[in-house]
Amino acid sequence: MTQTLESFAIPSAGGVGPDLEVEGVTVRFGGLVAVADVSLVARGGTITGLIGPNGAGKTTTFNACTGLVSPAAGDVRLGGRSLAQHSPSWRARLGLGRTFQRMELFETLDVRENVALGREALLSGRRLTGRIFGSRTERRECLAAADAAIERCGIGHLAGAIAGDLSTGQSRLVELARALASGFRFLLLDEPSSGLDVGETEEFAAILRSVIADDGIGILLVEHDMALVRGTCSYIYVLDFGQLIYQGPAAEVLASDVVKAAYLGSEGEQ
């Protein structure tokens, strides 16, 4: 088991990362069925979109994948391995990372420390004493991974800033950098473009494209911004009222009437 853990957690340059498979997942909150029998496959090395109106169950699906909610039925597999029995932190150690719709930065720490902690948190689970101290080599590894991720996300000029002082757009990039520094093999991104302006969204899309091209990791993207979805996703799943109503290659889905109806319906309510 340890071996698998290590091989997942450390990025292998060039290779294509594992697939994320969600199979028949149902999540209930009391009497409410938030997600009903959802199955999807997100391939490594590609960006898969998960779209749908507000309240469709997208974030709940994410939470079921990362173990924050326990589904009433169904299984989640990463690279063929079932994650169902594992805690959220264990799933992260197996290589499944995520960002949050409502950003979760370490707000009193500076950006470099935030990003380095992504890797350090992952390392803390390796040995029994890993929670208390790490070796100098590991610390160097964390800082090096942080600097590389900061460079990739183009936030080098913010490295010394306190995370809580940043704008939404900058914070989203820091959160992405933190996930990249961890060396996750699969990333779940929850509405990364909300709060970003058009220019920032384009920049973000470019970073995502370079990430999958360089690292071969897979990304599942929950997103409202159709420009970002169109610019990055190769395959798209559509959720509405907790159920998958449509799936297909990006261009086909975005042109579909079913999808437009689902979105128009929700916008009509707003």
Partner 1 sequence: MKEYLPFLVIGITAGSVYGLAAVGLVLTYKTSGIFNFAHGAQAALAAYLMFEFHERMGMPWPVGMLLSLLLAGVLAGLLLERVAYGLASVGTAARVAATVGLLVAIQGGLVVAFGSATLAMRIYLPTSIVRLPGVNVRMDQLIVTVFVLVAVVGLYLFFTRTKLGLSMQAVVDDPALLGLQSINPVRVRRFAWLIGSSFAAISGMVLAPTLGLDAFLLTLLVFYAYGAAAVGRFSSLPITYVGGLVIGVAAALLTKFLNTSGPIASLPATLPFLVLFGALLVVPKHHLVERGSQAVRRPLAPLSFSRRTKVIGLAAAAVVAAAIPEVVGTKLPLFTTALAFTVLFASLSLLVRMSGQVSLCQMAFAAVGATTAARAVGAGLPFPLAVLLGGLVAIPIGALLAIPAIRLSGVYLAIATFGFGLLVQRLFFSSFLMFGKSSYVVAPRPKLGGVPVHTDTGYYFVVLLATAGCLGLLALIRTSRMGRLLRAFADSPTALNAHGTNTTELKVLVFCTSAFLAGIGGALLAPVTGTATAVSFDLGVSLLLLAVLFVAGRQPLLSAGIASALYVIVPGYIDNAHVRQYTPIVFGVLAVVAAIYGGVPLLDRLGAARRLSRRSLERSRLRARAAAWGSRPAGSAPAPVLSEVTS
Region of 17-25, 117-125, 203-211, 236-244 interacting with partner 1 (CB under 8 A) = 117-125
Long-range pairs, 65-71, Cβ under 8 A, ≥24: 65/20, 65/22, 65/91, 65/96, 65/98, 65/188, 65/220, 66/91, 66/92, 66/96, 66/98, 66/188, 67/91, 69/27, 71/25, 71/26, 71/27, 71/35
List the interface residues with partner 1, window 168-187 (CB under 8 A). Answer: 178-179, 182
- Rule CB under 8 A: say whether 6 interacts with partner 1: no
**Cβ-contact 121, 182 below 8 angstroms:** yes
> Which of the stretches 110-118, 151-159, 212-220, 261-269 binds partner 1 when contact is defined by CB under 8 A?
110-118
Minimum distance from CB of 163 to partner 1 (Å)?
Answer: 8
> Does 18 help bind partner 1 (rule: CB under 8 A)?
no
Selected from 44, 49, 118, 216, the binder of partner 1 by CB under 8 A is 118
Using the contact rule CB under 8 A, the part of the chain among 81-89, 166-174, 198-206, 262-270 near partner 1 is 81-89
**133 near partner 1, rule: CB under 8 A:** yes
Asked if 155 contacts 166 with a C-beta cutoff of 8 angstroms, the reply is: no
Among 34, 76, 106, 236, binds partner 1 (CB under 8 A): 106
Which residues are at the interface with partner 1 (CB under 8 A)? 66, 68, 87-90, 92-93, 97-98, 100, 104-109, 113, 117-118, 120-125, 130-134, 139, 162, 164-165, 178-179, 182
